[in-house]
Amino acid sequence: MRMEMEWSRKAAAAALLAVLAACGGGGDAAVSESAAGDSAGAVATGDSAAAGGPQASAGQPRSNLPAGPTTDLPPNELGRIMVLEYHRTGSPEGEFVRTLDNFRKDLKALHDAGYRPVTMRQVLEGNIDIPRGTTPVVFTMDDATRGQFYYRPDGSMDPNTMMGSWVSFKEQNPSWGPGGMVWCILPAAAHPSNFFGETADRETQREQREATIRKKMEFIVQNGHEVCNHTLYHARLDRASNAQQAMDWIGIGEDSIKAYLPADYDIVTFALPLGMWPDQKSAAWQGTYRDGKRYENKVVLEVSGGPSVTPWDTRWDPHSVDRFIVAPGALEAQLRRWEADPTHRYISDGDPQTISYPASQAQYLNRSALGGRTAREVPAAAAPAAGAAPAAAAPAKAP
């Protein structure tokens, strides 16, 4: 069913130019007004696709996988986790650009230091099912650019994309486990930010383009990744002319993504464009649009803030989840920091039904968030010796 756009294409294109330039500084996010117009008009023409249980973490059960590198650190499930934030691939690097080479190094550095990917949905639901001695990490991928995920003309996945790199890394390191990437999509942005570069053009028939978008969404869902809404085309919510416009950008954005997802897929995560809130803050997590249709975002992602607390923590607010921007040197520095002093690093006890924490964190335990889970206090990690070499504090064991 074709959706009617409720704003002028010109305004959409102008807004898109402004926000993408601010977010990514040009490069492959550069757009033209005509391209934005075309893509806004072409959005959401797909019908709701296939059935299937899309919410579960798909792929091989983790219990069948090797544990991989872990730490000897005692559990601390009131520690913090990084919700990493990536945007475009390219060079030179900046706050919103990572080279593919460094993205691949990030995967290896995290894996080898005992980190394992989980989705935002898993964090929200407290379903952090990773081996004892490891730390969950969420990968959020903003703006759906072509360098993130692309199929080549022969139908094969482009290995020189973030998804392509992830797939080959996982093949070589099965302990990395299923899923863990959260794709924050702009369904009506201009090329190359419309479903990772799938924009209408004269050479590509609409049916073919939509089939490719559906193939990408299927791959994401079936491999245990997560789809996240990032608004229709990245307009700043603080610049909406009223609350209804902000709600339309979110609600219609969600509809336009869902057009390519299984009918029962529930989008729970929403990323604020540029971290900007609408005047009516609650519009970020719930609202109405189009004659009473409703949306609800259980998780609202900020654009910055550093490592995040988790649902067992009294300081957890799913409507304002901090993220960690993978700016040049930032992730490397944070990994060194937690190696030198793991006091605030989340360390799993290996059992999603038990929440283990040291006495020093007990004040932050939110018992009402436990559901049927058991909380237990455990001995703390030894404090790092003054002046100790960072690597000595938390060595990762080989598998």
How far apart are alpha carbons 117 and 82 in whole angstroms?
A: 10
- Neighbouring CB atoms inside 10 A of 352's CB total 16
Amino acid at 326: V
Nearer to Zn ion, 98 or 170 (CB): 98
The bridge status of strand 88-89 relative to strand 321-325 is: unpaired
Tokens for 161, please give them: 């994309």
Is the bond into 328 cis (omega within 30 degrees of 0)? no
The mark string for 11-40 relative to Zn ion (x by CB under 5 A, - otherwise) is ------------x-----------------
Task: Give the dihedral sign, CA 239/244/248/250.
Answer: positive
In angstroms, what is the minimal distance from the CB of 109 to Zn ion? 24
Q: Which among 129-137, 138-146, 152-160, 208-216 is the span making contact with Zn ion, rule CB under 5 A?
A: 138-146
CA–centroid distance for 308 within its chain = 13
Which position's Cβ is nearest Zn ion?
A: 142
- Taking the least distance from each CB to Zn ion, the nearer of 70 and 231 is 231
Is residue 293 within 8 Å of residue 252, measured between CB atoms? Answer: no
Instruction: Kindly state the smallest distance separating residue 91's Cβ from Zn ion, in Å.
Output: 20
Scanning the structure block, which residue is given the tokens 């094969």? Answer: 156
For the bound state, the minimum distance from the C-beta of residue 274 to Zn ion, rounded and expressed in Å, comes to: 7
Binding positions for Zn ion, 141-160, rule CB under 5 A: 142-143
The distance of closest approach from Cβ of residue 234 to Zn ion in the complex, given in angstroms and rounded to an integer, is 6
Minimum distance from residue 377 beta carbon to Zn ion (Å)? 40
Q: Which is nearer to Zn ion, 216 or 323 (CB)?
A: 323
- Nearest residue (CB) to Zn ion, 23 versus 355: 23
Rounded Cα–Cα distance for residues 349 and 76 (Å): 8
Q: Nearest distance from residue 348's CB to Zn ion, in Å?
A: 30
Mind spelling out the 3-state secondary structure of 248-260? HHHHHHHHHHHCC
Residue 149 Cβ, how far from Zn ion at the closest point, in Å? 15
Nearer to Zn ion, 143 or 248 (CB): 143
- Count residues binding Zn ion (CB under 5 A): 3
* Residue 389: alpha-carbon gap to chain centroid: 33
Q: One symbol per residue from 93 to 132: x for binding Zn ion (CB under 5 A), - otherwise; what is it?
A: ----------------------------------------
How far does the chain reach from its first CA to its final CA, in angstroms? 51
Taking the least distance from each CB to Zn ion, the nearer of 170 and 323 is 323
Q: In this complex, which beta carbon is closest to Zn ion, that of residue 23 or of residue 128?
A: 23
Stretch that binds Zn ion, among 33-41, 60-68, 135-143, 249-257 (CB under 5 A): 135-143
- Residue 308 corresponds to which tokens in the numbers above? 């995040």
| Nearest distance from C-beta of residue 29 to Zn ion, angstroms | 9
DSSP letter (8 states) at residue 113: T
Sign of CA dihedral 305, 111, 117, 86: positive
Summarize as ranges the residues that interact with Zn ion (CB under 5 A): 23, 142-143
